[in-house]
Each structure stands twice: as C-alpha cells, then as structure tokens.
Structure 1
C-alpha cells in the first residue's frame, strides 16, 4: 500500500489527513506528490543525510563498499537490479480517485 492509497481509505471513512511522518524519506518526489494532495511530509532523516560523506563512519557503520552499493541502488534501482541479475519490478503508482 502506498501512502496515497492509505490516505484515500482514511478519507473515505471520514478521517482527515494533512500530515504524514516517515522515519526515512527516500526523496523520490513524495513531498511534492503529497503536497498536491494537501499533505505535509515530515521525516526523521532522508537518503541525502544518510549517505552524506560528512557523517563519520563510526556513526554510519557503513564500509566504503556498502556505501557505494547503497548509493548505486538509489541512483537507479532498475540499473542496480539489472547489474545484479535480479528482476526489477516497477512499483505501480496508485492514482487517487
């Protein structure tokens, strides 16, 4: 279930949704998409912060190889899957009614 789909169901039941909190924002245009639906997105952290080279390794616990792997995935999940020999499944975007 996408956030949009959950919000749609809540609203069908008479609920109000105008804010959403996530632990980790992948920064894949959710903020803009939710804003169009009248929802403000808040996050504890995001991909840019998590992969920042300014964070000491003692905090991230990532090796250089792990860092490169995660960065490659977020730059292009489809290419990352193909390079690993994995099947890639595009997440379908649920359009609000």
Structure 2
C-alpha cells in the first residue's frame, strides 16, 4: 500500500489538513514537491509551516529561492522551518538572507 498516495489524495480534498502535508513530507518523494508549492502561501500558519517543513524533508531541489524567501516570513515558526530546511540536505549550499 502506498501511504504517500493517501496524503496526495487528502491534499486534493476541498479542505486539506496540515497533517496531510506533514504525512507527505514523511512518506513522499521529491517529485511530490509540486503538490506542496500551493500551500507555501496559504493564509493559515500551520499549513504554511507544514508545507515548508515537508518541502525540506523531501529535499526537492530547485526550491532554494522559495525557501530563502520564506525564511523572512513574518511568522517566526514559518521562517524558522524554512531556515532549517535550507540548513539540511541538498539545500546546505543555499544562502540565508541577511
């Protein structure tokens, strides 16, 4: 059974939950990054934070600039999650804004 597929389907629901983002971050693949991108600008903080965290966990290359911009999010928990995502894995070479 593909558990990640359950989270992919949940993200397409009319009212997705932050848990689906977290679950996809744990069980998905880098190719799932495109499902996370719309949630990076979600009005709910929990959704933005989980999307950022999931993107960092998936190690989806090509999103360094987006994560760098999100490290300046006005909500500290979102900014911290983006900075942590940049600091791990394939994002280690990305520069945090000053």
Task: Pick the TM interval, shorter chain.
Answer: under 0.3
TM-score, normalising length from structure 1? 0.27
Greater relative contact order (Cα < 8 A, sep 6+)? 1
Higher strand content, 1 or 2? 1
TM-score, normalising length from structure 2? 0.27
Higher helix content, 1 or 2? 2
